[in-house]
Amino acid sequence: MNKSPAADARHFLAPAKLNLDLRIVGRRADGYHLLESIFTLIELYDHIWFSLNQTGCIKLHTPTDGITEEQDLCVRAARLLSDHTGTEYGVDIWLEKQIPVGGGLGGGSADAAVVLMVLNHLWQLNLSKTELLQLGVRLGADVPFFIFGQSAFARGIGEQLSPISLPKQWYVIIKPPVHVSTPKIFAHKDLTRDSKPRIMPDFQAGQHWRNDMQSVVLAEYPAVKAAFDVLAEYGSPMMSGSGACVFLSFNSESAAQAVYNKVSCAHQAYCVASLTRHPFYQ
């Protein structure tokens, strides 16, 4: 196994996301929860390298500990695209993780989306964005957002996406040393499942954003509550997705950096800016 990318490998960035607002508005007959969420991309990236091969073999040279090849979203995305199109090409993939795993920042989904977008291009498949979105939702509810590639208002299970304009922001994020079980949170008896659906939101300064999963996670995971309380000293933090990451928003980089400098000495923390468009489309 070669952990260093091949000399001819092409490099791409997979940005993380934050849920700035997340409401659970119902439940489908199949058990999936119906959501409404505001997504933004952030400048925190996984790095992925691709080298085409003519053998048809799909190989990830940098597996994540504890995740089998059949479970890995990069491999699953590449195989899904290969099976869907019948291409004779293969690919060698190298992944360098920077987005924390199990943090609610969408790292695995971000990686899967980049694999679909990049291989559609490198394999010269010419699938439309709509077709890629339809494939993406088969890998996970967050994958379509990353293919969509810009700030979005999401409905359904996360696959119904509309563009939304958001001001430039900087975020201080703390990743607590715990993995939150998304199925556990969705199954929790105290989870809010009946938030009122909205028309397309047009959020202004001072808007009230919330995360319907947050109170349950804070009650069940003391480490997340501790991180939340740290950021609460500087403003009104929120949790992203089903956790475990909590974040605080700032209008200026200097204000964010000042808080980051205070919290990063004792916590796994990040200071990042929002991102208007996915780097693949730039």
Tens-place pLDDT, residues 55-103: 999 999 999 888 888 899 999 999 999 999 999 999 999 999 999 988 9
- Which of 24-33, 41-50, 51-60 shows the lowest mean pLDDT across its residues? 24-33
17 as an active site residue: the answer is yes
- pLDDT number for residue 2: 67
Q: What is the CATH number of the domain that holds 179?
A: 3.30.70.890
Same domain as 157, residue 47: yes
22 and 158 in a single domain? The answer is: yes
Whole-structure pTM over 0.85, yes or no? yes
Q: Count CA atoms closer than 13 A to 226's CA, side-chain side.
A: 11
The total of structural domains in the chain comes to 2
Pick 132 or 203 by higher pLDDT: 132
Q: What is the DSSP string of 50-67?
A: EEEESS--EEESSPPTT-
Categorize the per-residue pLDDT at 126 as very low, low, confident or very high, splitting at 50, 70 and 90: very high
Per-residue confidence band for 30, with pLDDT thresholds at 50, 70 and 90: confident
Which residue segment(s) compose the domain that 208 sits in? 170-275
One of 46, 142, 175, 212 is an active-site residue; which one?
142
The CA radius of gyration of the chain, in Å to the nearest whole number, is 19
**Catalytic-role residue among 17, 92, 111, 175:** 17
The whole-number pLDDT of residue 50 equals 98
Tell me: do 177 and 207 sit in the same domain.
Answer: yes
Pair 148, 16 in one domain: yes
Same domain, 20 and 141: yes
For the chain, give the percent of residues with pLDDT over 70.
95
Same domain, 15 and 127: yes
Last-in-domain residue among 129, 164, 199 = 164
Q: Tell me: do 132 and 102 sit in the same domain.
A: yes
pLDDT band at 159 (very low <50, low <70, confident <90, very high): confident
Q: Which of 140, 164, 188 is the last residue of a domain?
A: 164
Taking the C-alpha atoms of residue 224 and residue 232, their distance in angstroms, rounded to an integer, is 12
**Shared-domain flag, residues 174 and 229:** yes
Q: Dump the DSSP string for 13-64.
A: EEEEEEEEEEEEEEE-TTSPEEEEEEEEEEEEEEEEEEEEESS--EEESSPP
Mean pLDDT taken over the chain: 92
Q: Is residue 187 located within the same domain as residue 153? A: no
137 φ/ψ angles, rounded to the nearest 5 degrees:
-65, -20
Is residue 97 among the annotated active site residues? no
**Confidence label for 226 from pLDDT (cuts 50, 70 and 90):** very high
- Which of 84-93, 114-123, 133-142, 195-204 is predicted least confidently? 195-204
- Does any domain span residue 5? no
**List of residues 6+ apart from 227 with CB closer than 8 A:** 174, 175, 176, 244, 246, 267
124 and 214 co-located in one domain = no
Give the domain-ending residue among 149, 164, 179.
164
Residues 192 and 154 in one domain: no
Q: Which residue has the higher pLDDT, 205 or 91?
A: 91
Q: State whether 143 and 207 are in the same domain.
A: no
